[in-house]
Amino acid sequence: GAVVSQHPSWVICKSGTSVKIECRSLDFQATTMFWYRQFPKQSLMLMATSNEGSKATYEQGVEKDKFLINHASLTLSTLTVTSAHPEDSSFYICSARPSVSTDGYFGPGTRLTVT
């Protein structure tokens, strides 16, 4: 089956620094990638949708200037958490979709801890 990877799998950073999380589709080209956030004991919440070569669409309440998404190629999307704060500590999960006519595949997630 289709494989989606995320890097790093976990990261610890200091408050005020920026962290970049990568999402890669390893054996297919992803026209669309989705970023989710999951706080402890809660469900996944969609943050944004990105299409290759265009600006991401953010869900209501998600700060686009804080969570920078780049989808520069058909196999890579990055999420940069800028000026991270402890409340940004969460599990970030991406999903990549080969085309509009197919369902997406989820990555393994990245655990971010901001100290």
Partner 1 sequence: DAKTTQPPSMDCAEGRAANLPCNHSTISGNEYVYWYRQIHSQGPQYIIHGLKNNETNEMASLIITEDRKSSTLILPHATLRDTAVYYCIVSPSSGSARQLTFGSGTQLTVLP
Contact residues for partner 1 (CB under 8 A)?
4, 6, 32, 34, 36, 42-46, 49, 91, 93, 95, 100-109, 111
**Least distance in Å: CB of 75 to partner 1?**
17
**Least distance in Å: CB of 83 to partner 1?**
26
Other residues' Cβ atoms within 10 Å of the Cβ of residue 92: 24
Nearest residue (CB) to partner 1, 45 versus 82: 45
Nearest residue (CB) to partner 1, 19 versus 33: 33
Distance separating alpha carbons of residues 76 and 22, to the nearest angstrom: 7
**Least distance in Å: CB of 106 to partner 1?**
4
Residues 36, 93: contact at Cβ < 8 Å?
Answer: yes
Q: If phi over 0 gives left and psi between -120 and 50 gives alpha, with beta otherwise, what is residue 74?
A: alpha
